[in-house]
């Protein structure tokens, strides 16, 4: 199968490209490289074809889809920082919503009916019922979550109007790295807890800031659901193989287990052998105490089961990556 992957040079995109190639797919990458890394895509695909372009360039998308005889698309290209989305909401609407609309238009023009999309549990906002199921009403509390829900609405319209088959996979907290240490997480700026904790272990930061230790959780710190990036990649492959024109799939992807900030730090101390100093800071506005997935629908519909999402597997693989790549991907690759 010829598969176009947008955001192919990013964190989850590159891991998914690798699995697609291993499964026998021919992968064509599409990325504007504003956040991604050429080295990530090259390592994932052994030097596969990468088209450098923006989602807003509908003509380039259409030419690429046609020239490469693309049969299905996996869509990762999006901005994904909550704080940044609050500061620059229009940027998030333009990139995430208008960019996805451009992609949907290109797919319609080329007669392609299968699209797997990276979505997020940020569409649910701060729900009262935990674990979070797909029955939870969408109630985004920031422009990032709103942009992702707007994309899902566009997809539902295209499904009804044009027979587009789509799978919207709603992630919880992606984490971990490839087991061989070749692919991993490299963001600038880095805002995710696990890479920041490991940067402290490497001596790149003085300490980890814990935003609030007085939440109604067992140890007072926020609890989140961490899912290994390889498990996310596996879900995309399963959705791609299952999806049919005119079908819609909207499922949560999480481990189904909650881990607190302090538990992450304590386990990272054991994995790395470093002290990892902490300092408690004020709560951040809008941080819910606990977010855990109900992943029953993904398990039943996709026949998906998280295989690598234990805390030990996540932290061990991430630590291997960060030790080998303390500065991230080499810019020369």
Report, as residue numbers or ranges, the catalytic residues.
144
Strand positions, DSSP E, the chain: 2-6, 26-31, 49-52, 72-75, 114-120, 165-171, 173-175, 208-211, 223-228, 248-253, 258-260, 278-281, 290-291
CB 237 within 8 A of CB 19: yes
Angstrom distance (rounded) from CA 158 to CA 162: 5
95 backbone dihedrals φ, ψ, rounded to 5°: -70, -50
**Three-state DSSP state, 227:** strand
Angstrom distance (rounded) from CA 86 to CA 97: 15
227 backbone dihedrals φ, ψ, rounded to 5°: -125, 135
CB 277 within 8 A of CB 210: no
Q: 236, exposed or middle or buried, with CB in 10 Å at 0-12, 13-18, 19+?
A: buried
CB 121 within 8 A of CB 254: yes
Nearest to 252 by CA among 133, 135, 139, 74: 133
Task: Provide the phi-psi class of 185: left if phi over 0, else alpha when psi is between -120 and 50, else beta.
Answer: beta
CB 44 within 8 A of CB 23: no
Tokens at residue 114, please? Answer: 């299968």
């Amino acid at each position: 199968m010829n598969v176009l992957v947008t955001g192919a040079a990013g964190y989850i995109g590159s891991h998914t490209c690798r699995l697609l190639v291993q499964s026998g797919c021919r992968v064509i990458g599409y990325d504007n490289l504003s956040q991604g890394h050429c080295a990530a895509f090259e390592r994932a695909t052994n030097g596969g074809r990468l088209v450098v372009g923006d989602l807003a360039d509908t003509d380039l998308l259409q030419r690429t889809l046609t020239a490469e005889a693309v049969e299905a698309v996996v869509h990762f290209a999006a901005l994904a920082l909550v704080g940044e989305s609050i500061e620059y909401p229009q940027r998030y609407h333009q990139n995430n919503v208008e960019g996805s609309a451009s992609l949907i238009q290109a797919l319609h023009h080329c007669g392609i009916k299968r699209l797997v999309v990276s979505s997020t549990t940020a569409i649910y906002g701060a729900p009262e019922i935990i674990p979070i199921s797909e029955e939870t009403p969408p109630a985004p509390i920031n422009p990032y979550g709103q942009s992702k829900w707007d994309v899902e609405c566009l997809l539902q319209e295209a499904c009804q109007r044009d027979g587009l088959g789509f799978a919207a996979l709603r992630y919880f907290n992606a984490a971990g790295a490839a087991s061989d240490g070749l692919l991993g997480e490299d963001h600038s700026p880095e805002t995710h807890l696990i890479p920041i904790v490991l940067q402290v272990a490497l001596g790149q930061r003085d300490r980890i800031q814990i935003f609030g230790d007085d939440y109604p959780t067992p140890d007072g710190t926020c609890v989140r659901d961490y899912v290994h990036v390889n498990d996310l990649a596996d879900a995309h492959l399963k959705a791609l193989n299952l999806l049919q024109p005119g079908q819609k799939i909207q499922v949560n992807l999480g481990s189904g287990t909650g881990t607190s900030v302090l538990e992450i730090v304590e386990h990272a101390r054991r994995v790395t052998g470093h002290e990892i100093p902490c300092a408690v800071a004020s709560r951040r506005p809008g941080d819910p105490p606990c977010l855990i997935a109900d992943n029953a629908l993904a398990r039943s519909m996709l026949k998906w089961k998280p295989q690598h999402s234990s805390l030990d597997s996540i932290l061990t693989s991430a630590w291997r990556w960060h030790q080998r790549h303390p500065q991230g991907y080499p810019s020369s690759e």
